Structure 1
Amino acid sequence: MASYFFSIPDVYFGEDAIGTLRRLNHKKVAIVTDNFMATSGKTRYLINEMPQASVSIFSDVTPDPSIDILHAGASQFKSMKPDAIIALGGGSSLDAAKGIKVTLEEYYPQHAIELIAIPTTSGSGSEVTSYAIISDPDNGRKYPLIDDKLVPDCAILDPHLVLSVPRQVAVDTGMDVLTHAIEALVSDGANDFSDALAEKAIALVWQHLPTVFDDDKNLDARTHMHNASCMAGMAFNSAGLGLVHGMAHAIGGMLHIPHGKINAMLLPLIIEFNAARSPGAVERYLQCAAIMGIHADTPQQTLNDLVAGLHAMNRHFGIPATLAGLSVTMQTVESFRPALIAAALADGCTASNPCKPTAVDIDRLLTRIAR
């Protein structure tokens, strides 16, 4: 079977990457963002590059955007019929903009709308992926949508936009980048192209995320993390993800835990789970360890050291090992357990895990992460 690696979006990076927006002068431009970005001057930072553009700003995006947010944004822009939509913000704003664009194009099937993604966190990789996470708050669920129509046409990586991200958010989202890269490397859809990006992303995160934690205004470290986020997004867009994300979507959606944080907590547990069941995954995890400079006398000890290294990094960043460390009681977990198991098994990311988990497997992993 033929494998696939995409050639879009165009990716602009570096300190003057934002200048790419100058080509939108005299165009109709819709900006999708959240209230903080709209009130903190970040939208003005964009508009200054295209002073002659006709601009409308939708700033009602909230974390874990729902279908109602998509309809509200599309409704605001419907009469404008924009030439381009700029998504400005973290993963929630980027995912909302993807949904708004698709919704608008249903109104105007003959009117192509350019989607430009400008991430302000180094985490989701949504600026280069066909994924969007849309929530169903009534049922406490997060649904990953996967469609090539959701890939932006252009991504702009401006490191200045991430300098204001608080340290704890930066490390949570940074661990999301590491999880993206490691899961893409061990996914059953991994290929030479996705491997190259995943391996580089792992190396960059391992080297530079501790620097961001120690000095969150370090532009060089932030730049490398921003690039790593994009690379990891490209990797998993091609290769797929795995059980870490399958469980994280379920747990994060129902128990309201930040996505990067729950990924970081699950990652070492899922590495142990996969390595015990898939010789191919073992080889891939040993590659991860080598990239991180982790070496021991035997493959098993190297795997143990990899898991221990991830636990140690989490502790250093203030990320707890279990849900109890986030004040989530076992009683709460029990009340959601059947729904969490079903959601994790049904999640699209679980499908590309290197081994196929059962309901019993998910149940045991839930118990481990809860205690």
Structure 2
Amino acid sequence: MNGAMTTQLSFPRFTRIGAGAVDELGTVLTHLGLKRPLVVTDSYLTTTGTAERLTKALVRAGLSPRLFSGTVPDPTTASLEAGLDVAGAHDADSVIGFGGGSPIDTAKALAVLAVNGGRMRDYKAPHVYTGPALPIIAVPTTAGSGSEATQFSVISDSETDEKMLCPGPSFLPIAAIVDFELTMSMPARLTADTGVDALTHAIEAYVSRKANPVSDALALSAIRTIAGNLETAYRDGQDRGAREAMMVASTQAGMAFSNSSVALVHGMSRPIGAHFHVAHGLSNAMLLPAVTRFSVSGAVGRYADCARTYGAAGDADPDGVAADKLVEAVTRLCRELDVPTPKSYGIDRREWDSLILTMAKQAVASGSPANNPRVPGISDIEELYRNVFD
């Protein structure tokens, strides 16, 4: 940690965690003086009736909600337009992101654009937005993205396919409602991918060049919890203890990386998602073992801490040995969770190869690789993309 720099920390003002927390949503909005929320969700949560249950509870609490269910996986600038129209027509005074990372990212983008206007590309990193926005309330239904606790929104530019990281305190939810019961119905694949996403957030926050004592504590706590619970939640989705632990760890990991940063895995993961429409957690999982192996030499002691916390190494192991054991542990985890390679996922080799240079440039442009313990050149990133393919 750079001693000359102050550490800036931002967290949601209100966080409610635990079974049944979602029932307190109306109370939280009332405390905030909000009356006309736009509930931003996806068609899946609408079909299951979960979104309707949420809006009905808000109506019972005396609020006037409006539902927008047009979010898409990996939200695009084009997908925001309909939401902006609905927000305007409803005269929304707040936005509730209800779902996985995509609805929450969409809600954050709508909250900023509804008040401030402009185009999403005006907000992409390195620009940091601190201006006006509607209050954001986040209600996650997956244990993974941690978006309920972060000051980032990730939106793909429909014209260029670039997955843009848009940072700033104005994207941070004012309130997060973290209720693990909403995750009980997640299928095994989604449980695995979102769980590895959370683990990646925690490891990258801890080894990042922007790490600090507060993000460190949250990151290590998340790593310990995920190590003990992810495989259980994957094999038995009805295990309430594992589901609850993963939900808390996901929020901790979100708080950690929002106040530190992510690094090379995320930098390389976003372009895979943008060009090949691979879910974000899954593209992280495809990369995590290889990128960790590449990065270890830049922060052996930090990776060793992660290994010991994960339970992959003991106190007697020298740092170098412990760090290598972390690489082995995440490799084994991805195998246990049946994480596919890009090849086995069905991506065409020629198309992959033809996009490697573009993806490498987009990874660097996002800024995340510069926070990596070992900062890669473009050619290093190209080589990693080639290696992970099969």
Pick the TM interval, shorter chain.
over 0.9
Residue equivalent to 1:29: 37
Query: Which structure 2 segments of 5+ residues have no match?
Result: 118-130
Is residue 15 from structure 1 mapped to residue 23 from structure 2 by the alignment? Answer: no
Superposition deviation, residue 103 in structure 1: 1.2
Residue 307 of structure 1 pairs with residue 327 of structure 2: yes
Structure 1 partner of 2:247: 226
What displacement does 1:112 show? 6.4
Query: Does 1:244 pair with 2:265?
Result: yes
Shift of 1:138: 4.1
The DSSP-based 3-state class of the residue aligned with 2:227 is: helix
In structure 1, what is the equivalent of residue 279 of structure 2?
Answer: 258
Equivalent position to 2:76, from 47, 56, 66:
66
249-258 or 192-201, larger mean C-alpha shift: 249-258
5 Å-filtered alignment, 1:315-334, equals 315-320=335-340, 322-334=341-353
Percent identity between the two aligned chains: 36
How far the C-alpha of 1:46 sits from its partner, in A, is 1.6
Partner in structure 2 of residue 354 of structure 1: 373
For residue 284 of structure 1, the aligned residue among 286, 295, 302 is 302
Go from structure 1 to structure 2 and tell me whether the alpha carbon gap of 1:191 and 1:367 turns closer, same or farther (over 3 Å shift).
same
Alpha-carbon contact 2:112-2:134 (below 8 Å) kept:
no
Paired positions, count: 365
**What's the offset of the Cα at 1:111?**
8.6
Secondary structure class of the residue paired with 1:155: strand
The match for 2:110 among 88, 100, 109 is: 100
Q: Deviations over 1:204-236 (max 9, x none)?
A: 111010110111111221111111111100000
Offset, 1:71: 2.2
Task: Check whether the contact 2:132–2:170 (CA below 8 A) recurs between aligned residues.
Answer: no
Cα distance in 1 for residues equivalent to 2:266 and 2:21: 31
Which one of 90, 95, 98 corresponds to residue 80 of structure 1?
Answer: 90
**Counterpart for residue 122 of structure 2:** none
The one-character-per-residue Cα deviations of 1:84-107 (angstroms, maximum 9, x if unpaired) are: 211101100000000111111126
From 290, 297, 302, the counterpart of 1:269: 290
**What displacement does 1:114 show?**
2.2
Distance 2:335 2:296 in 1: 23
Q: What is the SS of the residue equivalent to 2:155?
A: strand
Partners in 1 of 2:64 and 2:79 — Cα distance? 22
Which whole-Å CA distance do the structure 1 matches of 2:135 and 2:166 have between them? 19
The two structures have a TM-score, normalised by structure 1, of 0.94
The secondary structure found in structure 2 opposite 1:62 is: coil
Deviation digits for residues 61-118 of structure 1, max 9, x if unmatched? 01111112222111112132222211101100000000111111126xx996321100
RMSD (Å), alpha carbons: 1.8
Question: Which structure 1 residue ranges, 5 or more long, are not aligned?
Answer: none
Secondary structure in 2 aligned to 1:145? strand
In the alignment, does 2:330 pair up with 1:294?
Answer: no
Alpha-carbon deviation of 1:10?
Answer: 1.4
Q: 1:128 aligns with which of 137, 145, 149?
A: 149
Q: Which moved more, 1:323-332 or 1:267-276?
A: 323-332
**Residue 111 to residue 171, structure 1, CA distance change in 2 (3 Å):** closer
Q: 2:11–2:255: 8 Å Cα contact kept in structure 1?
A: no
Counterpart of 1:87, as a letter, is G
